[in-house]
Chain A
Amino acid sequence: MTAQHPPDEILLGFTRALRAAGVRVTQDRATSFLTASAIVGLHDPEAVYVAGRATLCSGPDALERYDRVFEAWFGDRSELPRTIPRERREDVAAPLPVSDDPGENGGEGEQDVVRAAASEAEILRHRDVAELDAAQKAILDAMIRALHPRAPLRRAARHTPWRRGEVDLQRTLRGSLQLMGEPGQVRRRRRGTEPRRVVLLVDVSASMRPYADALLRLTHTLVRTGAPVEVFTLGTRLTRITTALRTADPDRALVRAGDEVPDWAGGTRLGETLEAFLDRWGARGMARGAVVVVFSDGWERGDAALLGGQMARLGRLAHRVVWVNPHRGKDGYEPVQQGIVAVLPHCDDFIAGHSLRSFEQVLEVVASA
């Protein structure tokens, strides 16, 4: 720590650096951090480190980042710029889905442009996402955004009043009490419903690259329904991106998710990452009774036996396991790769995921699970 900066500034600068690194540090947390540091004493870096971990972090993901930033901020700062990072606000405007450059057919009436876009949209529904150019992708993005997924439902423990079903003794009696004991209307009830949890696991390895963007947009629409939805990316490691995808604007959400994922377009170790998911999250309840959707082509570099074993575990935990494979929709596709062969016995559904049409089917399968 340098002498020319007062300690408050250095500590607050650290919280800003932490925020810039993606840890959500609110004002009250920063204040708690200052209080805690003052209590343990600023002369003791070890204690300040602990105080910061306790007040600024809220989970293992944040802890990892915290360690990195702490090291950079309070460690050897010789090569670091000594400026305090500014608050970063990325305002990414959502681009309007325009199919063609308007200058190109400037003479034509607006009607034609709309009609052209409409017919193109219909064709796009069936086109393979991987083969689209930039302009078509923009339309597709808007179309994905316009999807309205429904969350699957499960039976809840509580009863709700209903027209038919079993007799609700309590409400019937209460009703007749209001009539001074005269028999009144017979009330009925049934078990209510609650949204069932959906867990989405998106393979972001190199072989899935052409589809990753569209698939993440699809998961974004599901997250935005407000139902209990969790999203993870698989590749060489497991990353939870649910929080990032809660951002309303899809483009900003994807940028945030991209910041989180360290193994973008890397290798595939499905078995190991699936194991990590089951160990860290799944077995503790996240996958229990949930609808789990895996978006992957099943190209496994690692041990296919491990993958099969982990899928069996997942199958036992989850209410329904849906495997979405982009190649499934292509002509002449046969599920013969080692990974897919190991996986298939443990899946309830094995469906295509290469075009908007197939995405709609995926949402349908999830909603009716």
Chain B
Amino acid sequence: MNSPRAVAQALEQTGYLSDSALATVTFLAGEMQRPLLLEGEPGTGKTALAEALAQIHGVPLIRLQCYEGIDATQALYDWDFPRQILHLRTLEAATKDGSLDPTEAEKSLFDERFLLSRPVLRALRESPAVLLIDEVDRADDEFEAFLLEVLSTWAVSIPELGTVAAAVPPTVVLTSNRTRELHDALKRRCLYHWIDHPGLEREVAIVRSREPDVPAALARQVVEVVQELRGEHLLKPPGVAETLDWARALQRLGASELDLEQAANTLGAVVKYREDTDRVKHVLDRMLAR
């Protein structure tokens, strides 16, 4: 892919419809071998981009879900302790006469087969791959500092085995929901992009490409209502994921057009707070009365 346009087309073939800005940033991330930091409202397709990228390149998508208290052993590697013990017991049993050489035994303990690769190490070893570091804002500062090191050197050292370096740097996508300000050093390493909700036409196109079974008229109506809802100050404005859910739900119920009754029955796909329900009903009434 040698231009933003090519990136956009490749993404489109996987069913991910990007705008030109996102395509350009994705292109740049590839060219400059920089991680891509995506922020934006939930449900705007941050995670989906990583999935689409993995699909385009035909490489595995390795996902690291961040959470509070995550540390390097959960991201990098761990030793399979139970199996190591078992191995030691086997060695003891096999050499009953006590001729077990301690140094040899220890060496065999830290063998490749007892190494549990966690996502970051896997991404380095299996590269080319797409590494998705999801919701990095949930992790702690210390973890960010650790990521910074991996993302700049593309190598990890395991004391017992040596350094593991990626032959090709993996494509890295970080997503953040801004529950916390990320450290500037990490942001500087990355290319930053804020994903907005798509416009009317593009969202209709997204529904049509993701859910080809949904009738065109229904897709358009659903998107129109959802876009209206985003301006209604809901506690949880619906994202593209909710649009797709709703369209899918209505289509399963055999609807070819949005009618009030079926819309009311499927509201759970769009609205996630009791307080929002009234507002949504109000908007539906108004829009369907036209």
Interface, chain A (partner B; CB < 8 A):
24, 26, 28-29, 32, 35-36, 39-40, 46-47, 50-51, 53-55, 57-60, 63, 157, 242, 275, 279-281, 283-286, 313
Contact = CB atoms under 8 A, between A and B. Distances in A.
Contacts of B31: 39
A318 to B, nearest CB: 15
A279 to B, nearest CB: 8
B233 A275 contact: yes
B191 A54 contact: yes
A50 B24 contact: yes
Given A28-B188, A32-B32, A58-B184, A50 B25 contact: yes
A47 to B, nearest CB: 5
A45 to B, nearest CB: 12
Contact of A50 (B20, B69, B178): B20
Nearest to B236: A283
Contacts of B235: 279, 283, 313
Contacts of B182: 58
A51 B24 contact: yes
Given A35-B32, A39-B32, A58-B184, A53 B178 contact: no
Contact of A284 (B177, B193, B233): B177
Contacts of B21: 50, 53
Given A60-B194, A279-B235, 17 more contacts: A32-B32, A39-B28, A50-B24, A50-B25, A50-B28, A54-B28, A57-B192, A58-B182, A58-B187, A59-B39, A59-B178, A242-B181, A281-B178, A283-B235, A284-B178, A286-B179, A313-B235
Contacts of A313: 235
Contacts of B69: 157
Task: Return the 10 tightest CB-CB contacts between A and B, nearest first.
Answer: A285-B179, A54-B191, A50-B24, A284-B179, A58-B187, A54-B25, A50-B21, A39-B31, A36-B28, A47-B24
B193 A54 contact: yes
Interface in B183-233: 184, 187-188, 191-194, 233
B180 interface: yes
Contacts of A63: 194
Interface string B148-186: 000000000000000000000000000001111110100
Interface in B22-72: 24-25, 27-29, 31-32, 34, 39, 69
Nearest to A57: B192
B15 interface: no
Contacts of B193: 53-54
Of the four ranges (under 10, 10 to 19, 20 to 34, 35 or more), the interface on chain B belongs to: 20 to 34
Contact of A286 (B25, B34, B180, B187): B180
Contacts, number: 73
Nearest to A306: B233
B20 to A, nearest CB: 7
11 contacts: A28-B188, A29-B188, A32-B32, A36-B32, A47-B24, A50-B25, A53-B193, A54-B193, A58-B182, A58-B188, A242-B181
A40 B4 contact: yes
Interface of B: 4, 20-21, 24-25, 27-29, 31-32, 34, 39, 69, 177-182, 184, 187-188, 191-194, 233, 235
A72 to B, nearest CB: 20
A242 B180 CA distance: 12
A46 B19 CA distance: 12
Contact of B188 (A26, A60, A285): A26
B24 A285 contact: no
A308 to B, nearest CB: 13
Contacts of A46: 20, 24
B180 A40 contact: no
Given A284-B177, A284-B179, A47 B191 contact: no
A55 B233 contact: no
Contacts of B39: 59-60
B275 to A, nearest CB: 8
Contacts of B20: 46, 50
From A55, A60, A63, residue with most partner B Cβ within 10 Å: A55
A63 B25 CA distance: 15
A50 B39 CA distance: 15
Given A39-B31, A283-B235, A286-B180, A55 B4 contact: no
A4 B147 CA distance: 44
A57 B4 CA distance: 20
A53 B220 CA distance: 32
Q: Which of A32, A35, A58, A157 has the most CB of B within 10 A?
A: A58
A54 B192 contact: yes
Contacts of B233: 275, 279
B188 A51 contact: no
A53 B192 contact: yes
A55 B28 CA distance: 10
A55 B24 CA distance: 12
A280 B20 CA distance: 26
B184 A40 contact: no
A95 B278 CA distance: 56
B232 to A, nearest CB: 12
A71 to B, nearest CB: 16
A53 to B, nearest CB: 7
Nearest to A285: B179
